[in-house]
Amino acid sequence: MSSLSFTPSSTNKLSREDYRRQKDLEAARKAGTAPAEQDEEGKDINPHIPQYIAKAPWYLDTGRPTLKHQRIHDAEEEKKDDQWYARGLRAGPAATKFRKGACENCGAMTHKTKDCMDRPRKTGAKWTGQDIKPDEIIQEIDLDYDAKRDRWNGYDPSEHSKIYEEYEKIEEARRKIKANELDKQSTTELVKKTGDRIAAEFSSDEEEDDEDKYAEKSDMPGQKVNTKTRTTIRNLRIREDTAKYLRNLDINSAYYDPKTRSMRDNPNKERGAEDSFYAGDNFVRYTGDAPNMANLQLFAWQAYEKGTDVHLQANPTQGELLHREYLQKKEKLKDTSKDSILAKYGGEEHLNVPPKELLLAQTEQYVEYSRTGRIIKGPDRAVPKSKYEEDVFNNNHTSIWGSYWADGNWGYKCCRSFIKNSYCTGLAGIEAANSSNLLTVSELISDEESNKKSLVEIHIENMKKSKSKNVDDSNKHLKRKNLGEGDIQLDVKKLKKALEEEDKRNKHKKIDFYIDDDRKRPYNSAYMGNNDKLESEITEEELEAYRLKKQSYEDPMANYVDEED
DSSP string, 517-544: -GGG--TTGGGB-SSS--B-PPPHHHHH
Comparing 76-90, 267-281, 512-526, which segment has the lowest mean pLDDT? 512-526
Q: In b/e form, how buried is each residue of 267-302, taking b as 16+ CB within 10 angstroms?
A: bbeeeeeeebebbbbeeeeeeeeeeeeeebeebbee
* Amino acid occupying residue 245: Y
Highest mean pLDDT among 201-205, 356-360, 471-475: 356-360
**528 and 503 in a common domain:** yes
Per-residue model confidence (pLDDT) at position 74: 62
**What confidence category does residue 228 fall into, taking pLDDT thresholds of 50, 70 and 90?**
low
Per-residue model confidence (pLDDT) at position 537: 63
Domain-located, residue 95 = no
**471 and 444 in a common domain:** no
Q: Say if residue 173's pLDDT is above 90.
A: yes
Domain-located, residue 416 = yes
Q: What is the mean pLDDT of residues 319-323?
A: 90
The alpha carbon of 557 is separated from its chain's Cα centroid by a whole number of angstroms, namely 53
**458 and 448 in a common domain:** no
Q: Say if residue 7's pLDDT is above 70.
A: no
Comparing 146-160, 405-419, 441-455, 497-511, which segment has the lowest mean pLDDT? 441-455
**436 and 505 in a common domain:** no
State the average pLDDT for the chain: 76
Higher pLDDT, 224 or 244: 244
Q: What is the DSSP letter of 225?
A: E
Interatomic CA distance for residues 352 and 357, integer angstroms: 14
The alpha carbon of 316 is separated from its chain's Cα centroid by a whole number of angstroms, namely 29
Per-residue model confidence (pLDDT) at position 512: 47
**461 and 415 in a common domain:** no
Domain with 418, as residue range(s), is: 391-452
Last-in-domain residue among 432, 452, 472:
452
Domain-located, residue 427 = yes
**What confidence category does residue 564 fall into, taking pLDDT thresholds of 50, 70 and 90?**
low
The percentage of residues in the chain with a pLDDT greater than 90, rounded to a whole number, is 17
Q: Say if residue 172's pLDDT is above 90.
A: yes
Domain-located, residue 42 = yes
Domain-located, residue 360 = no
Comparing 333-337, 345-349, 488-492, which segment has the lowest mean pLDDT? 488-492
Residue 106 CB neighbours (<10 A): 22
| Side-chain-facing half-sphere of 210: CA atoms under 13 Å | 12
Highest mean pLDDT among 246-250, 410-414, 485-489: 410-414
Interatomic CA distance for residues 235 and 219, integer angstroms: 12
3-class DSSP assignment, residue 223: strand
The alpha carbon of 337 is separated from its chain's Cα centroid by a whole number of angstroms, namely 26
**469 and 445 in a common domain:** no
Q: Say if residue 239's pLDDT is above 70.
A: no
The set of residues, in sequence order, having a beta carbon less than 8 Å from that of 137 and lying 6+ positions away, is 86, 89, 90, 91
**469 and 428 in a common domain:** no
**What confidence category does residue 48 fall into, taking pLDDT thresholds of 50, 70 and 90?**
very high
Smallest Cα–Cα separation from 544: which of 477, 474, 463, 487?
463
**499 and 535 in a common domain:** yes
For helices 160-201 and 210-217, what crossing angle results, to 10°? Answer: 130
Higher pLDDT, 113 or 515: 113
H/E element holding 457?
helix 455-466
Q: Say if residue 176's pLDDT is above 90.
A: yes
Last-in-domain residue among 71, 86, 102:
71
Per-residue model confidence (pLDDT) at position 142: 83
Domain-located, residue 220 = no
- Evaluate if pTM is beyond 0.75: no
Q: Say if residue 308's pLDDT is above 60.
A: yes
Per-residue model confidence (pLDDT) at position 81: 54
Q: What residues pair up with 82 in beta bridges, in sequence order?
A: none
Q: What is the mean pLDDT of residues 425-446?
A: 70
**466 and 539 in a common domain:** yes
The set of residues, in sequence order, having a beta carbon less than 8 Å from that of 105 and lying 6+ positions away, is 113, 116, 118, 120, 121, 124, 125
Higher pLDDT, 153 or 102: 102
Q: What is the mean pLDDT of residues 92-108?
A: 90
Comparing 103-117, 167-181, 470-484, which segment has the lowest mean pLDDT? 470-484
Per-residue model confidence (pLDDT) at position 2: 40
User: How many independent structural domains does the chain possess?
Assistant: 3
Domain-located, residue 485 = yes
Render pLDDT for 449-483 as a digit per residue (tens, 0 to 9).
555 666 667 777 777 776 544 444 444 444 444 55
Domain-located, residue 461 = yes
Q: Which sign, positive or negative, has the C-alpha torsion 467, 470, 472, 477?
A: negative
Per-residue model confidence (pLDDT) at position 49: 92
Last-in-domain residue among 452, 477, 497:
452
Interatomic CA distance for residues 498 and 96, integer angstroms: 140
Q: What is the DSSP letter of 410?
A: E
**Residue 63: Cβ-neighbour burial (10 angstroms; 0-12, 13-18, 19+):** exposed
Q: What is the total residue count of the chain?
A: 565
Within 353-437, residue ranges assigned H as helices are 356-359, 427-436
Q: Say if residue 147's pLDDT is above 60.
A: yes
Contact 194, 201 (CB under 8 A): no
**447 and 400 in a common domain:** yes
* Amino acid occupying residue 474: S
Render pLDDT for 481-514 as a digit per residue (tens, 0 to 9).
455 555 667 788 888 888 888 888 777 654 444 4
Per-residue model confidence (pLDDT) at position 143: 83
**What confidence category does residue 21 fall into, taking pLDDT thresholds of 50, 70 and 90?**
very high
Higher pLDDT, 73 or 329: 329
Render pLDDT for 388-403 as a digit per residue (tens, 0 to 9).
777 788 888 888 888 8
**What confidence category does residue 445 fall into, taking pLDDT thresholds of 50, 70 and 90?**
low
